[in-house]
Structure 1
Amino acid sequence: MDLPVMPPFQPMLAKSVAGVPAADSVAGGLVYEPKWDGFRAIVFRDGDEVEIGSRSTKPLTRYFPEVVEAVLAHLPQRCVVDGEIVVPLDGQLEFDLLTQRIHPAESRVRRLAEEFPAHLVVFDLLALGDESLVDRPLSERRATLEQALSTAGSPVHLTRVTTDAVEATDWFNAFEGAGLDGIVAKPLASSYAPNGRVMLKVKHARTADVVVAGYRLHKNSTAERPLLGSILLGLYADDGRLQHVGVCASFAEARRAALVEELAPLVTDFADHPWGEWRDEAAQASGRLPGGQSRWTGTKDLSFVPLRPERVAEVGYEHMEGRGDTARFRHTAQFKRWRDDRDPGSCGYAQLEEIAKFDLNDVLS
């Protein structure tokens, strides 16, 4: 492979803002795009050679053979594009199906590629032929990208854009129902800045009251000075089971020490805990329990201190992953405050905001 932009190559990043910024808030103006909830991918094609790099520059090529085939069928002979790998299912994006691809067994990867094929959504062009476009303004890169993908078809998609902040706000509200993640605003006059936070992202912000059911110790914790690392959170399903939905973290060191003392009266035995089965190897293999290993955690110590599920915390989150009473927080939640006025048994899935469905095909078209 011999391209003007070569792997490993770090993608341009975004910084969070509270709301959709005005189009004239940045010199040269802004263009808005849907924020896709998938795996960021820098795709390199040189004839019959294709490489797919992740956000961290690690190769993704072997996990998405159908995307490699789509690149060979629809992208220019020599190019480098920035995009997102997503998995659609029943008119929505399914991030959980995407994560299942990161697996050592090629047979499993091939089976999932056939059952739930991934798509590539392209939103930037970094090189075409023998020319690097990294130093060109986005307005030029987008125009060249539209021309380069003028004959492309599914499963390769050119992301839609608008320069109208009102329309972008409508997208922000509607497209979440198709599994999208928010809105990205990009300066039209900007060059491509690898690993630079030049773009602006607007994501949904919500709160939920959750049951505190345990905690993990911080990596810097010692026997002399135990420090809390993260709090394990649960929600009650309709059948009465306490489902593990994620964690909250990011406490100051002094707060980590104080929380260990504050939660000490709630420490209990696993035999009396709703997640006591986490120590069973078969249960751990499911990856759904708070003590279970997964392809993401590897050999990381996931043991936790069990707490009687008697306290409630309000946490901030962006959106959920999964469906029904197996849904969980997509990212680490943010601790807001204790809710001593709430009965833990009242903390169920019904409190979560119902997102109006939106057909993903209407976003891709």
Structure 2
Amino acid sequence: MRAVVVTRPGGPEVLRVQEVPEPSPGPGELLVEVAAAGVNRADLLQREGRYPPPPGAPAWPGLEASGVVAALGPRADGAPGPGAVGPTGDPWQVGDRVAVLLAGGGYADRVTVAGTHALRLPEALPLVDAAALPEAVATVWSNLRAARIAPGETLLVHGGSGGVGSVAVQLGRALGARVVATAGGPERCARVAALGADVVLDHREGDVTDRVREATDGRGADVVLDVLGGRALGANVAVLAEGGRLVVIGLQQGRRGELDLAALMARRGSVIGTTLRDRPAAQKDAILAEVAAHVWPMVADGRVRPVVHARLPLAEAGEAHRLLASGDVFGKLLLEP
């Protein structure tokens, strides 16, 4: 089969479509014919040699995909017959439409995945566009759960126009939070507002700390979902409400920042940091089970929908990486085999 291989660490030009061995589903796994793969910033880091795939994952990038089940692996307990089941225990069948969360390998014609890491698509959800959802919904849901967000609280989403941010705005609104988001430029701010944000702040107009305070009547944000990391640490603590929780899920502004412990203590605040890709399988099982039970019904009824900037052929993976690095993408980029 074909896959987009990182020929050496470097820029987008190092991505090449090559023939690789076709995977075979193991116990409890699905073989999925890929309809589309989502492009994530982690893929750019992997291409640069700064985020290697975990042991056992394919060497080529791709943390999420959508497609059709082409084959089933044997039962995980060794009994006769196919035994792949979904995150809620429902059996899979050949021909089922799925969206899958991967540790790697989505940039390919086919991929294997644990049946518990696949989500059955609602009838109205387009097969290709579904590839924009698994990584984002699993990331956002697990982190909002870690932050214990409650209806009526204020959620600040940095990068509301991004692949994760666009889902966070919708999911936060669906969970009953008041959503404040940041985005760059009037047009992008308007589009984020259309996704359900109550207030959208243009970060190109300077530091948003005072404007977050103004938007919350001086109270601040109960939960901050942050993709920026290091250099934004101080500003994020400054916008926390009393008892606020800062959840760091990205490092676009570096790994290190200065933390004013007195400011954090004065707010009785907390800082939470998480990753998703390298979690143990059992933790991913639990996250996907909760997503299937709590978020997927919101996808089915349209409260949470994929936001797709563009769909490109698999052979243009390098161009997709250039586009994502440019900062001009709204939502997700998808690669179609």
Same fold (TM over 0.5): no
Which structure features the higher share of strand residues? 1
Larger Rg: 1
